[in-house]
Structure formats: C-alpha cells, structure tokens
Amino acid sequence: MKKRMKQLVSILIASALIFSLTACGSKSESTGVAQDNGNAKTAEDTKSGGGENTKKQDLVMIITQATDFDKTLEEKINEEFGEKYNIIFKTWEEQSVEQTVKTAATAGEQIDLVKFWPMQMESFVSANLATDLTGYMDDEWKDRFTDTNILEMGTYDGKLYNIPYDNVYPAIIANSAILAEAGVTLPESGAWTWAEFEEACRTIEEKTDAFGAAIQKEQACWLVRNLFLQTWGNEEDMNAFIQGKVSFKDPKIVDGLEMIKKDFDDGMFYPGEGGLAVTQDQLYAAFSQGKYAFMFVPSSNVVGALDKTGITDYTIMDYPSMGTSENPPLLGGCNGWFIPKNAGNIEGAVEVMKFLQSEELSNYKLSAGKLVVTKAGANSKIDMTLLEALTRNANSIQPKEIMGLDAELNEYIMNLMPANYFNNGKSALDELDALREAALSR
C-alpha cells in the first residue's frame, strides 16, 4: 500500500512537471502572435469597478528613453490612447534597438512602433522587416510637415518606410568663460576651418587648465562622416564618393584621417588619452566642471545638455569645415519612427505618430529644443535665439552618405571609426573598401 502510494505521488509529480512545461510552451505561443496584415493581437483587460471584460489591443512601442521629456510624452500618449489601447512602452536604447526589434521579429513578438533613423533603414528594408507606410501618408498628415521633401529620407525604392520627426545634426556648445580666459574669439559669422579650430584648442590648452574639445564615444564617427562629406571641395567628387565610386584609400581621406588622429594623439580631446571612450555622463560632468571648452552634441540634445551641465555662459557655434568649401555640407538627418513587420497594431501606431506630430505636441517638443519637422504654431515657449542658433545650418544637411550603401558599411563607419583607423591604420581602410566593393557588387 505504501509502495503504491509512493508510485502514485511519483506519477503526480511527473505529470505536474510535464504540465508546467506544456503551459510554458503554450503561454509563449499565445503572447507571440504577430501578423503581417495588421490584424491585431488582443489582450484581456478587466475594467476596474465594472467587472466587465473588454478586449483592448496591445500597442507596443520602443520610442522613449528614461528622460523627463520622454516620460512626459509617455503620459500624453497614455492620456490620449490609454482608454483605447493597452499601451506598453519598452525603453529605447541606441546600441540595442536594432537587435531588439529583429530578435522580436524572429520570435514573432509584437512591436508596433520603433524610433529609428530614416537614413539607416537599409538593414530593415532589405530584410523586409519594415512596413510600407506610403498608403497611410494622406494629405492631412502631409500638410503637418513644414517641408514634405523631408519624407525622402525615409523613402526607399519609392516606398515610405520611416516617418521623420526631428532634425538632428552636429552642434557644438562653446564654454564662453573658458574662451574669454584663453582670449579666443569665435568668428562673427560662418564656421572656422578645422585648422582654425585646432589652433583655438591649442591656445585654450596653453592658456587655461582646460582641454580643447570633447566628444561622446557614440558621436566620434561625426569626425569621420563630416570628413567624408567635406574633404572633396566640390559636389561632383562628393557624390561620386557617396555612390561608392571612390576608394577609402583616396589621399584626401587618408590625409583627413591622419589630421584627426594627430588631434587625438596630441591630447586635444578630453581627457587626453582615451578621448574615444567618453560616455555622455562623463562628457556632461567634465563640461560642467570646466574641463574642456567645446562640447560636440547632437542639436536635439543641446537644451538637455545645457540643463544637465548647468552652463549658462555659452555660445552655439558652427561645426568647423574640414574642407575648402565656404559652405560645406554637413552630416545630419532626422530621428524618425517606423513600424516593424512584426507589428500587431499598425492602425494604433499610425494614430500615435499623427498625435505626436500634431501642432500641440510639436509645440511642446519645440519648446524643449527639439527641431521638429512639423508645424508648431506660434505659442512655443522656445528661446528664439537658441532656436536660430540651432537651425541656421539646417540647410547644409547632406541627407545621403556613403553609409546608406550597405548595413555593414553603416555599422563600420558609425561604430568602429575612427577608432579602428587609429588602432589598425590602413587595414581599417582595406576593410572599408572590401565592404564598399561588396555593397556595389550586390
């Protein structure tokens, strides 16, 4: 009897384990539904108080970070759509967003709206992982844009895959107190040449305790990208390079890279050694302590950077020209949103995008220093002097870069340059050329 009881208990335990395994499998199946045709997955949601079961569609978005500005945006989205959708925000992280979306796509998990750069959609478009939004861009929505040409940035083979919302390009904040101490004056109009910028940095280092400049590690590629656009001196050569017809070992590129390398070797960039590994926190902390004079920062982050560093005596200066042209093209583009193929609620995502580009929200974003591409109305609380400083180079933005040729080339330039050139010399250029040739052969 005792033995039988033991056997019974054993079988019960084994059955429980099997059921628990089966339950795990079925749960992941039920939460992993994502359909191409936009039929939405639904989530059970019990209304508080009434006890009545209603079905709300999930709306999963990776568009916000843990900042005060984005938290306010989340609140506004919740206020507007909370009744209609079961809204889920996942934190957007620059380094992992692409992997997160693609992993979710592989697993069939629902993601409806993602913040991504319109000009870097190649890897999603080529893998058929982005939803064609051409049909959703009606006249009413188009009318909200200050210039509809901006939509070209997110257009691939005539199809609109990414909706731009903020202009972003490199800005430089100069600490005026350090400049005054060093006796350095900024040009009244136009930009310095790179040589003049280097000279100013040297003067600052000689006459003060501060370094010349600092750049966040994620933005170090700006130095190379602007070189790739500005070194040619004429549009024809620049376009040939952008189309991949010119080698990365062209003397103009090599000379420019050597120039940048020398600046880092000479300790022009904070903190001297290790100037390519500076995090945003370190960048802000050192600027607020007056450890360097020029901070490279995305135009969309200028207001946030000033808030966090507490610097009030500053000047927004133009990016120094790395070529001979007086009005050099400038890297830049837009932040944007796209709807992945594994979306389950396309309609909801489109509604949110339209809401975020409404006059009210555009106004709010503009007042926070975001250079929105939509009409914002006249009530903005924005500091007009700052707005003017931030937008005066917007017309110089060159929307197409060589990175657009291929996702791997894009990754190499964005994340491995200029560090790989500094560490590996010309073999980095060989690797870039191999990627360029591979892209052209496709």
- Of 56, 76, 90, 102, the one binding another protein by CB under 8 A: 102
In the stretch 200-219, what mask flags binding to another protein with x, by CB under 8 A?
Answer: -----------------x--
Structure-token pair, residue 286: 């050192």
99 near another protein (CB under 8 A): yes
In the stretch 37-76, what mask flags binding to another protein with x, by CB under 8 A?
Answer: ----------------------------------------
User: Does residue 411 sit in helix, strand or coil?
Assistant: helix
Write the single-letter amino acid at 9.
V
**CB-count exposure of residue 168 (10 Å: 0-12, 13-18, 19+):** buried
440 near another protein (CB under 8 A): no
Nearer to another protein, 18 or 195 (CB): 18
Quick one: which segment of 79-87, 267-275, 349-357, 392-400 binds another protein (CB under 8 A)? Answer: 267-275
Nearer to another protein, 25 or 51 (CB): 25
Nearer to another protein, 135 or 272 (CB): 272
Number of residues forming the site for another protein (CB under 8 A): 48
Nearer to another protein, 137 or 419 (CB): 419
**Is beta strand 292-298 parallel, antiparallel or unpaired with respect to 42-46?**
unpaired
- Of 423, 426, 438, 440, the one binding another protein by CB under 8 A: 423
In the stretch 285-324, what mask flags binding to another protein with x, by CB under 8 A?
Answer: xx----x---------------------------------
Identify whether the C-beta of residue 200 lies closer than 8 Å to the C-beta of residue 212: yes
**Is beta strand 53-64 parallel, antiparallel or unpaired with respect to 42-46?**
antiparallel
Quick one: which segment of 43-51, 142-150, 269-277, 330-338 binds another protein (CB under 8 A)? Answer: 269-277
95 near another protein (CB under 8 A): yes
The C-alpha atoms of residue 166 and residue 418 are separated, in whole angstroms, by 26
Q: Is the dihedral of CA 140, 144, 148, 152 positive or negative?
A: negative
| Backbone φ, ψ for residue 26 (5° rounding) | -70, -30
Nearer to another protein, 102 or 159 (CB): 102
Q: Which of residues 316-375 bind another protein (CB under 8 A)?
A: 341
91 near another protein (CB under 8 A): no
438 near another protein (CB under 8 A): no
Report DSSP letters for 314-366, one per residue: EEEEPPPBSSS-SS--B--EEEEEE-BTT-S-HHHHHHHHHHHTSHHHHHHHH
Block residue for tokens 């995305």: 298
Longest CA pairwise span in the chain (Å): 99
| Backbone φ, ψ for residue 212 (5° rounding) | -70, -60
Q: Is the dihedral of CA 384, 387, 389, 392 positive or negative?
A: negative
152 near another protein (CB under 8 A): no
- End-to-end CA, the chain: 74
* Shortest reach from residue 368's CB to another protein, in Å: 28
Quick one: which segment of 154-162, 195-203, 232-240, 273-281 binds another protein (CB under 8 A)? Answer: 273-281
Structure-token pair, residue 348: 């909801």
Block residue for tokens 């009005």: 327
Q: Using alpha carbons, select from 292, 320, 290 the residue that is nearest to residue 213.
A: 292
Q: Using alpha carbons, select from 333, 343, 335, 334 the residue that is nearest to residue 113.
A: 343
Nearer to another protein, 123 or 367 (CB): 123
277 near another protein (CB under 8 A): yes
Contact residues toward another protein (CB under 8 A) are 7, 10-11, 14, 17-18, 21, 25, 95, 98-99, 102-103, 105-106, 123, 126-129, 217, 270-277, 279, 282, 285-286, 291, 341, 407-408, 411, 415-417, 419-420, 422-424, 428, 431
